[in-house]
Amino acid sequence: MTPIVSVNPDTGESVELALEETSPNEVVQLTERASSIASDYASRPLTWRAQLLRAMAEELEADAPALVETAKRETALTQMRLEGELRRTAFQFRFFAGVVLDASFLQASIDHATDSPMGPLPDLRRLRVPLGPVAVFGSSNFPFAFSVPGGDTASALAAGCPVVIKAHPAHPATSLATFEALRRAARAQEAPEGLVALVFGVDAGVALVEAAPIQAVGFTGSVAAGQFLWRRANDRPTPIPFFGELGSANPLVVTSAAAADQAASIGAGIAASMTLGVGQFCTKPGLLFIPSNADGDQLVTTLVGELRTLSTMTMLSSGIASHFRSGVSDLSNIPGVHHLVTSDDGAGAHVGAHLFEVSDAIFRDPSAHRLHDECFGPLALIVRYGNSAALATALEAAEPSLTLSVFRGATDPDLTWLLEFAQSRAGRVIVDGYPTGVGVSWSMEHGGPWPSTTSPSTTSVGAASVERWLRPVTYQNVPDEFLPEALRDNNPLGVPQRVDGVPR
């Protein structure tokens, strides 16, 4: 049995928790338990489900001081950031309570029996039903909002699915404490026991993806771990959907006109965005396309100056910091790459901000493909471009991404081509803004083309994230008493229905 250790990345101090890694057998038992209560949970009224989600928000808020304290010790993130993140996490549960009550995710549709050019059609009614038990992998970088009580857990519960969660090893105590808050809420609402479950350990994670009762996986993390687990999900005797939100370089383009208008403010803004949360955001702007002219020089000078004022920062774990240092060293060794801001990174989890620069010609050279990878942490690579044509070619060489940001100026020529390109290569297109804020809302898309996500038609943030955990079923000629209530003619739940093709 391997005990679980909680490490303070700032001091290196470690505490052994009264917890062990979950054995593959225990993982299977938890998923079987989840499976045994899946239909009970799915059949609870939508109003009850919404109340459960609100109760979870309340339990998290009630525990806020202790949760923030624990997370601070395990992640080295600031008090203010963690307080904000916990507010967001509670908000997220309430938001999904609203999504449940809105009920449009059910896509309820009723076609009464009719004649058609194909001949008579029977009574057909379609509804999206919960998939059953799903697995959620907590991320390292958001110990609340993308972890045990994160968006994947909230959206899966909103969809009507039991959730078995794999804790991220960088914050086991936070994972356990937040899990206990969710479970308290579930018990207080008399949810079926085992609706949420928690497992620890790498082997437990693999066993979870492979456990027969699991019907889908939500994952937020690295490209390497995500693609490994995605393959496992596909190699099962019964493959299951794997919704992986992986890394992304998040290109940010500054047009010549934008550099002319606001070099200093954009330079300062980029410095803040790329080092927010020690650069540990999926949406950190990691690739900066800046014109190679005097205005671009001024922007870079401001950016460099801002980064140099920063003191050493603490990453989420020494392992993550060590990976970051490798990334820095790799970039430093590529011919033609200039290291504009360099820091003495010290040891353990402590690192400084880094800034690199290349020409567009070197960036688009196939031999320099490592330049295109995300480096998780406070680092960005500037690509200096000569003109729009060079910009277009360099952008074309970059990988698709979660986001693509464009800063424009008052005198810009037509930007249609750039925004069309952005739309074809990213899940979120941003004008005159930084990508690091990811609001929870009806209109948020937090997914992008491969390799930034494994399933580009889905999102892990926002109302549409609930759709990942559902599967449509059509009921043909099924008598009223056996139909799900959402599909009955008298619509006792008052859910949105499309009736004979017309939305009601």
Contact call for residues 384 and 256 (beta carbons, < 8 A): no
Q: Which of 141, 137, 150 is nearest to 86 (CA)?
A: 150
Cβ distance to a second copy smaller for residue 202 or 212: 212
Would you state the structure tokens that stand for residue 189, as one six-digit string?
Answer: 């609402």
How many Å apart are CA 81 and CA 277, to the nearest integer? Answer: 8
Catalytic residue among 210, 282, 399, 445: 282
Residues contacting 351, CB < 8 A, separation 6+ = 278, 312, 313, 314, 315, 321, 324, 325, 343, 345, 377, 378
- Shortest spacing between CB 60 and a second copy, in angstroms: 12
- Shortest spacing between CB 56 and a second copy, in angstroms: 15
Torsions phi, psi of 388, nearest 5? -60, -40
Q: What angle do CA 143, 147, 152 make, to 5 degrees?
A: 150
How many Å apart are CA 7 and CA 35, to the nearest integer? Answer: 34
- Shortest spacing between CB 116 and a second copy, in angstroms: 7
Q: Which of 161, 135, 134, 165 is nearest to 148 (CA)?
A: 165
- Shortest spacing between CB 10 and a second copy, in angstroms: 26
Classify residue 222 by its DSSP letter: -
How many Å apart are CA 137 and CA 204, to the nearest integer? Answer: 11
Judge whether 396 counts as a catalytic residue: no
Classify residue 105 by its DSSP letter: G
- Shortest spacing between CB 485 and a second copy, in angstroms: 13
Cβ distance to a second copy smaller for residue 61 or 365: 61
Q: What is the dihedral of CA 332, 337, 343, 348, to 10 degrees?
A: -30
Would you state the structure tokens that stand for residue 4, as one six-digit string?
Answer: 């679980």
Q: What angle do CA 397, 256, 437 make, to 5 degrees?
A: 70
Cβ distance to a second copy smaller for residue 203 or 467: 467
DSSP string computed for 295-353: HHHHHHHHHHHHHHT---EE-S-HHHHHHHHHHHHHHHTSTT-EEEE-----STTEE--
Torsions phi, psi of 73, nearest 5? -65, -35
Task: Give 4-53 as a 3 state SS string.
Answer: EEEECCCCCCEEEEEEECCCHHHHHHHHHHHHHHHHHHHHCCHHHHHHHH
Cβ distance to a second copy smaller for residue 290 or 444: 444
Cβ distance to a second copy smaller for residue 387 or 441: 441
Task: Give 459-480 as a 3 state SS string.
Answer: CCCCHHHHHHHEEEEEEECCCH
- Shortest spacing between CB 311 and a second copy, in angstroms: 25
Contact call for residues 406 and 428 (beta carbons, < 8 A): no
Cβ distance to a second copy smaller for residue 312 or 476: 476
Cβ distance to a second copy smaller for residue 22 or 455: 455
- Shortest spacing between CB 48 and a second copy, in angstroms: 19
- Shortest spacing between CB 79 and a second copy, in angstroms: 16
Q: Which of 303, 234, 224 is nearest to 262 (CA)?
A: 303
Catalytic residue among 210, 245, 306, 399: 245
Judge whether 161 counts as a catalytic residue: no
Contact call for residues 360 and 266 (beta carbons, < 8 A): no
Cβ distance to a second copy smaller for residue 32 or 102: 102
- Shortest spacing between CB 19 and a second copy, in angstroms: 31
Residue numbers annotated as active site? 245, 282
